[in-house]
Amino acid sequence: MSADPCRGAESLLQPYLDRVLTEAEVARIDGHLQECSYCSDRYVFERSLRTAVKSCCSEEPVPDGFVERLRRRCSDQA
Ligand SMILES: [Zn+2]
pTM above 0.85, yes or no: no
Q: Is residue 24 within 8 Å of residue 1, measured between CB atoms?
A: no
Query: What are the boundaries of each domain within the chain?
Result: 5-76
What's the rounded Cα separation, in Å, for the pair 19 and 13? 10
| Cα-to-centroid distance, 10 and ligand 1 (Å) | 7
Amino acid found at 12: L
12-57 pLDDT, tens digit each: 999 999 999 999 999 999 999 999 999 999 999 999 999 888 877 6
| Cα-to-centroid distance, 57 and ligand 1 (Å) | 30
| Cα-to-centroid distance, 53 and ligand 1 (Å) | 25
pLDDT value of position 22:
96
